[in-house]
Every structure is written in structure tokens, then in C-alpha cells.
Amino acid sequence: MSSISMRVNGEMRTATVAPETTLLRFLREQLNLTGAKLGCDVGDCGACTVIVDGMAVNACLMLADQADGRDVLTIEGLATRDQLHPLQQAFEIHAALQCGFCGPGVIMSAKALLDETPDPTVQEINDALAGNLCRCTGYTKMVAAIQDVARSRGAGTVKLPAPGNSGRA
Amino acid sequence: MKAFDVVVAKDANEALALLAAHGARAKLLAGGTDLLVDLKSAAQVPDVVVDISRATDLAGIELTEHGLRIGALATHTAVMRSPLIQEYFPALVDASHTVGAVQTRNLGTLAGNLITCVPSMDGGPPLLALEAIVTLALSAGRREVPLGEFFVGPRKTVLKPDEMLLDIVIPRKNLGKPTAFLKFGLRKGQALALVNVAASAWIDPKRQVFVEPRIALGAVAPTVIRARQAEAWLEGRPATPESMAEAGRIAAGEAKPISDFRASAGYRRDLIQVLTARALAQAAAQAASKRKETSR
């Protein structure tokens, strides 16, 4: 067994895992952070995307042991109790997700992009989402949502007329 | 995944000692984008996975007296962001950019791309066209192998079970050599190459002829290959569309493409011809724009 310790969504977590445990299984099964999804499990679909030390990675292609001592951010680390993250707000306003299975991965990829490239071109957004497969909504609304966040950065929230009943705590 | 042990090696020497101790029962883990996929479906897993992903002496991209050194742990993202590679070898940036997607490029290494050795690898053609050399090490010593001799067959290289790749070196004589990489896949994102081509060449400024043209083809033979007949024909010929087209025709004849569910052999031959001519034209255009810059 490997003893590991890493910062997950700002909190230090220490655990013992079987060495062959992927970061994804560790997050989902030991920390009960089930936002990152187990999709293809071979690095094609991006449903498991998390941010490790500032970089978007497939959590299914990393051993939990490799994340020892690192900083891991998952979709659960974005919203606060009172407010969704601007990307989450924008995805809601644009109805950019239907089934939502790819959503956590898409949003983490978008966050990693915006953290480095605050004002991306459509081509840069497409490139950032190439490793996140969405098979129901399509990408047009996601790209629009990400562009909105980029435009309204600094304002704290996405300034768009919110449709009725969209406010969630 | 079946159970295995993980041992972290903090540098190349530790990794080599572990490989010497465990031999074929050990596997090196760097980016993991190929290894973990293989291990998940493997009937037999290694006893020990030696994790070198944080071995600092294997990282880095730097200029040395021998040329440009790309450490074994340099990821595709690191290649794309390296100011040295952007300056001297933009074709390598293009090639790494077409590998997988952001998430896999952030993990996967250029060296791993060579070691997994699938015929459609994108890292191989530009490095082969730039006559890269790989440094391999056993605990007993090192050897330098020209990249063309490193590839043996699909998923097979000359690496011994207890041997590891330390770095990739592009020789100093090729620093800044005009080089282009082109890939044709079925989609723009996350697609394997039907054909990929890299061409490097100097252009003699007075005579406007090709000097040391090098053409490398991927996905059209058991390994990435050089189109040596096309190179020999092109040497000293004028940098014209006609000569580039003829080099493309010769290169297409040298390849041994197969028909599979992605494309037919005939289609792949057509692609080789077109992409080779285009890559040569791009390399020639780079040479021309560099000349303009220096004469300004």
C-alpha cells in the first residue's frame, strides 16, 4: 500500500491506497468526490478531467501515487455554498449541458484554459475542448458560455439576464 | 487493474538500479498515457512500476554543445511551450500539438511517443527528418542510437528491458534547419494520422537548390521511415513545385502503406505524394523568409 498526501480542493488529504489505484478512483471511491466521471477509462473522453498543479489532466491516466504532494482541483472545488463558479453559471444560462455527464470535465478544461488564456479565440477554446467528448448537446453553446465568462472576467459573476427559476443556492 | 508495486525513482540512476534489479519484471512510468492504458487491459502486469515522472534530471529542454537536448520527461505541452523549440524547430511544436488533446499532452512525453513506437506516432517524423539521436542507458553504461535505428517495428524498439531512454538530441548542425510537419487525420482533434510527413531542407541561397533534404513518413510502413530515394533525387535539384512534386511521387513509391478501416493503401499513397510536396514547399518557404530576416 502507498501512503499519499495531497491538497484536494484546497484541503490536505492523507490516505492509504493500493499502488495501482488511479487518481480518478481515489477521488471517486475514497474521497467520495464523484464529479469527475469514469467514462472511457483510457484517456479519450475527458469526463475525468481534473486540474493538477494548474494543468488539465485525465485523472484516469494518473496513479493516485503520482499526485502525492500535488495540488488537485476537481469540479467540487469551484462553487461555494452561496454561489456557482462563473463557468457553471454561464453553462446554466446558455443551457450548455443536456445529460451533463461530460460537464465536469468540460468545465475543468475550460477553467484550465481561462486561467492561462483569459481571452481565448474560438479556435483556442475548440483546442482546449478537443479532449472532452460531448455526444448530446454539442459544443456551440459551451463555446458561447466560455466566451461570456472570458468577456465578463473581473466582474465576479456572468452579467447576463438570468432566465426564470435558474437561481440555485 | 491487476495489482503491482510502485517505486518512485527520484533520478535516472535510481531508475537504472531498479531496472537492473527487476529486469523484464519492471516497467517505467513517465507520462503514463500509454502505459496505464496498456496495464488496464493487460493479462499480466509487471511486478514493479518504476515511477520516474518526478525525476528532475530527466526533465528539461536545453541547448548543449551537441545540439538541442530534449529530456525524456519533456511532455508534448513542454515541447510546445519551449522558447528554444519555438525558435529552432517550429515543426516539432506542430507535431506535438496534433498529439491527443490537452489533457494527454500535459501528461504524455515526446520520448514516450517514440518508445511506444506505433507507426502513426506524430513525434517521430520531424525528429527523424532532423536526424535526432536518442541516448539510451543501462546501469552499466550508455549508447547513442540514431532515431532511424531505434525503431524496430510496430510497438518495438531496440530498448532492452533494463534500459531506459535519457534524452533526445537534435544535432547542432541542424539547429534552425527549415522543417515542416503535416498530418492528415480523419478529424481535426484527437485523431491518429492516416499519413504524416516531415521534411527538412536547407536551400542554397545562390543556386536555389535543395541541400540535405530529409523526408520522413509516418503511418505508411511498420515504423516511421525515411524516404531516402526521394531525398537522393532531390539533393541539388532546384526548389521548384515540379521537383517537389516529383519527390512526392518517389516517396509514395518507397512507402508500404496498408489498407485498414481508416483508409486504403492507394489513398494513403496519394496522401504521401501530396503531403511530401507540401512539406517541402513549406520548408523552402521557411528558408526564404529566414533569409529575408537576416538580410534586413
Confidence tier at A141 by pLDDT (50, 70, 90) = very high
Contact between chains at A20 and B39 (C-beta distance less than 8 A): yes
Contact between chains at B33 and A43 (C-beta distance less than 8 A): yes
Confidence tier at B85 by pLDDT (50, 70, 90) = very high
Grid cell listed for B155: 510497438
- Is A122 in the B-facing interface, judged by CB distances under 8 Å? no
Confidence tier at A165 by pLDDT (50, 70, 90) = very low
Domain B60-174 of CATH type 3.40.190.150: no
Contact between chains at B102 and A18 (C-beta distance less than 8 A): no
B147 has pLDDT over 90: yes
Contact between chains at A22 and B36 (C-beta distance less than 8 A): yes
Q: Which of B51, B103, B189 sits opposite A57 (nearest CB)?
A: B103
- Give the separation between CA B93 and CA A41, rounded to whole angstroms: 27
Contact between chains at B77 and A22 (C-beta distance less than 8 A): no
Q: Treating both helix axes as pointing N-terminal to C-terminal, what angle do A103-116 and A86-93 enclose, rounded to 10 degrees?
A: 120
DSSP-derived letter for residue A28 is I
Q: Which residues of A touch B36 (CB under 8 A)?
A: 22, 43, 60-63
pLDDT (tens digit per residue) in B91-138? 999 999 999 999 999 999 999 999 999 999 999 999 999 999 999 999
Determine contact, residues B103/A44, Cβ cutoff 8 Å.
no
pLDDT of residue B240: 98
Phi-psi region of A156 (alpha: psi -120 to 50; beta: other; left: phi over 0): left
Residue A168, judged by CB atoms within 10 A of its CB (0-12, 13-18, 19+), counts as: exposed
pLDDT of residue B295: 72
**Which positions ≥6 away from B13 have C-beta within 8 Å?**
none
Q: Which of A65, A127, A128 sits opposite B6 (nearest CB)?
A: A65
Fold of A86-151: DNA polymerase; domain 1 (1.10.150)
pLDDT of residue A169: 38
- Give the separation between CA B218 and CA B126, rounded to whole angstroms: 10
pLDDT (tens digit per residue) in B10-54? 999 999 999 999 989 999 999 999 999 999 999 899 999 999 999
Q: Which of B6, B100, B190 sits opposite A63 (nearest CB)?
A: B6
- Give the separation between CA B205 and CA B292, rounded to whole angstroms: 11
pLDDT (tens digit per residue) in B192-229? 999 999 999 999 999 999 999 999 999 999 999 999 99
- Is A9 in the B-facing interface, judged by CB distances under 8 Å? no
pLDDT of residue B188: 85
Architecture category of domain B5-51 in CATH? 2-Layer Sandwich (3.30)
Grid cell listed for B249: 511521387
Q: Which residues of B touch A130 (CB under 8 A)?
A: 101-102, 188-190
- CA–CA distances in Å: residue B189 to residues A45, A123, B101, B216: 12, 11, 7, 22
To test the contact with chain B by mutation, choose from A62, A123, A143 the residue with the greatest count of B C-beta atoms within 10 A, namely: A62
A32 has pLDDT over 90: yes
Fold of B179-291: Enolase-like; domain 1 (3.30.390)
String of DSSP letters for A41-98? SSSSS-TTEEEETTEEEEGGGSBGGGGTT-EEE-GGGT--SS---HHHHHHHHTT--S
A83 has pLDDT over 70: yes
Fold of A2-77: Ubiquitin-like (UB roll) (3.10.20)
Determine contact, residues B178/B198, Cβ cutoff 8 Å.
no
Any idea where the domains of chain B sit in the sequence?
A: 5-51, 60-174, 179-291
Mean pLDDT over A10-31 rounds to 98
Confidence tier at A164 by pLDDT (50, 70, 90) = very low
Q: What is the ipTM of this complex?
A: 0.94
Residue A23 Cα, gap to closest chain B Cα (Å) = 12
pLDDT of residue B223: 97
- Is A112 in the B-facing interface, judged by CB distances under 8 Å? yes
Q: What is the mean pLDDT of chain B?
A: 96
Q: Give the count of beta carbons closer than 10 Å to the beta carbon of residue A42.
A: 16
Any idea where the domains of chain A sit in the sequence?
A: 2-77, 86-151
B179-291 and B5-51 share a CATH fold: no
Under 8 Å CB pairs connecting chains A and B tally to: 87
pLDDT of residue B293: 79
Instruction: Determine the 3-state secondary structure of B151 from DSSP.
Output: strand
Higher pLDDT, B295 or B212: B212
- Is A110 in the B-facing interface, judged by CB distances under 8 Å? no
Contact between chains at A60 and B36 (C-beta distance less than 8 A): yes
Query: What share of chain B has pLDDT > 70, as a percent?
Result: 100
A168 has pLDDT over 50: no
Confidence tier at A154 by pLDDT (50, 70, 90) = low
Mean pLDDT over B164-171 rounds to 98
